[in-house]
């Protein structure tokens, strides 16, 4: 089956599933003189209770997921991306999280020969990068923070790089996990606890995230824990309903659901 890439289009809460549907009914024999409007109930796309402790495993060749971007910040505004990753290799360019508007604007957080790096989507210039590659087959916490003036990159709770390149200035309308666009820069490894905030998290808050603290905040716009059994959907638990679709709904492109072996007693050094 040829690859069909998701189109870069605005994604509302729950990828549009919460829209009201209005049906015009022609009523005959009921005393009606014309069509009437009947509003159907909203589809329930609220997250189910967590079921176990899961993660996603990406094959580095075809697997990816897409996410909604309701409430995501303007490109020049403060924002934070955090996640846990267990890479399988330290070679080539790999995407962890990409938040973008077409290819005109956005941020791509990933690995370059295993080194955590954040790039501008347009022209793909690096905002900030660490100095050392991540050890493979080991869980690492990676955090990218833009505070409105500087870019900061943290690995396992420790700041590993800063930069001042002006970011792209458009609001993201598409979110991707494990690939830039479903066609290239695929990630090989496992991923868990993907979060996005519309604020710059402080070093203390990043350390708390590493230690397993509560991420709750009015600025939290995406929280994916992958702790459900729905094979092709991962639920956003931030309240924004920015749910993820695995592989655009095609099983052959969907990352595998696996039990998470992320340690439960995480703490910073």
Q: What are the tens digits of pLDDT across the range 119-145? A: 999 888 999 999 999 999 999 999 999
Provide the pLDDT for residue 64: 99
Beta-strand ranges (E) seen in the chain are: 22-25, 36-39, 54-59, 65-67, 79-87, 93-101, 105-112, 115-120, 126-129, 140-146, 151-155, 158-163, 174-177, 188-197, 220-224, 233-234, 244-246, 256-259
Q: Which residues contact 218 (CB under 8 A, 6 or more apart)?
A: none
List Cα–Cα distances, 168 to 9, 97, 196, 208, 212, in angstroms. 18, 16, 17, 29, 31
50-94 confidence digits (pLDDT tens): 888 999 999 999 999 999 999 999 888 999 999 999 999 999 999
Task: For the chain, give every domain's residue range.
Answer: 45-259
Task: Kindly state the tokens that stand for 188.
Answer: 């090989």
148-158 per-position pLDDT tens digit = 999 999 999 99
Band (pLDDT 50/70/90 cuts) for residue 269 is: very low
pLDDT for residue 170: 83
Residue from 172, 167, 217, 206 nearest 83 by CA: 206
pLDDT value at 206 more than 60: yes
User: Helix/strand/coil (H, E, C) string of 54-99?
Assistant: EEEEEECCCCCEEECCCCCCCCCCCEEEEEEEEECCCCCEEEEEEE
Q: What is the mean pLDDT of residues 177-181?
A: 98
- Phi and psi angles of residue 157, each rounded to the nearest 5 degrees, phi first: 85, 0
User: How confident is the model over 232-254, as a mean pLDDT?
Assistant: 97
Contact 114, 124 (CB under 8 A): no
Within 8 A by CB and 6+ apart from 188, the residues are: 58, 59, 60, 61, 87, 88, 89, 94
What is the reported pLDDT for 10?
A: 38
Confidence label for 160 from pLDDT (cuts 50, 70 and 90):
very high
pLDDT tens across 8-46, in order? 433 444 444 333 333 333 333 444 444 444 554 445 578
Q: Which CATH class is domain 45-259?
A: mainly beta
Q: What is the DSSP letter of 126?
A: E
CA distances from 152 to 73, 75, 149 (A): 17, 15, 10
pLDDT digits (tens, 9 = 90+) for 105-120: 899 999 999 999 999 9
According to the model, what pLDDT value does residue 75 have? 86
Identify the three-state secondary structure at position 252. Answer: helix
- The pLDDT score that the predictor gives to residue 44 is 59
Please give the C-alpha separations between residue 194 and each of 46, 82, 89, 113, in angstroms, as whole numbers: 18, 6, 20, 21
3-state secondary structure of 42: coil
The answer to which of 8-12, 38-42, 191-195, 258-262 has the lowest mean pLDDT is 8-12
Residue 224 to residue 233: CA distance in whole angstroms? 11
| Sign of the CA dihedral with 208 first, then 81, 180, and 55 last | positive
Integer angstrom CA distances of residue 113 from 90, 92, 187, 254 = 5, 5, 11, 24
Percentage of residues in the chain having pLDDT higher than 70:
81
Element (DSSP H or E) covering residue 207: helix 203-210
């Amino acid at each position: 089956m040829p690859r069909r890439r998701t189109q870069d289009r605005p994604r509302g809460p729950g990828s549009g599933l919460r829209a009201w549907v209005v049906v015009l009914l022609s009523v005959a024999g009921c005393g009606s003189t014309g069509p009437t409007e009947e509003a159907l109930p909203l589809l329930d796309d609220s997250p189910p209770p967590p079921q176990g402790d899961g993660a996603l495993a990406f094959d580095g060749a075809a697997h990816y997921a897409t996410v909604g971007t309701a409430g995501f910040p303007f490109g020049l505004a403060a924002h934070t991306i955090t996640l846990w990753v267990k890479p399988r290799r330290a070679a080539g360019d790999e995407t962890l999280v990409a938040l973008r508007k077409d290819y005109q604007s956005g941020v791509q957080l990933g690995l370059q020969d295993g080194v955590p790096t954040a790039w501008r989507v347009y022209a793909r210039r690096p905002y900030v990068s660490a100095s050392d590659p991540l050890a493979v087959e080991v869980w690492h916490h990676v955090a990218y923070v833009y505070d409105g003036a500087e870019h900061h990159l943290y690995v396992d709770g420790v700041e590993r790089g800063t930069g001042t390149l002006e970011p792209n200035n458009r609001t993201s309308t598409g979110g991707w996990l494990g690939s830039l666009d479903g066609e290239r820069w695929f990630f090989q490894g496992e991923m868990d606890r993907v979060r996005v905030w519309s604020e710059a998290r402080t070093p203390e808050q990043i350390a708390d995230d590493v230690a397993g603290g509560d991420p709750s905040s009015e600025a939290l716009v995406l929280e994916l824990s992958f702790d459900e059994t729905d094979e092709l959907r991962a639920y956003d638990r931030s309240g924004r309903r920015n749910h993820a679709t695995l592989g655009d709904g095609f099983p052959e492109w969907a990352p595998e659901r696996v039990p998470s072996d992320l340690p439960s007693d995480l703490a910073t050094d």
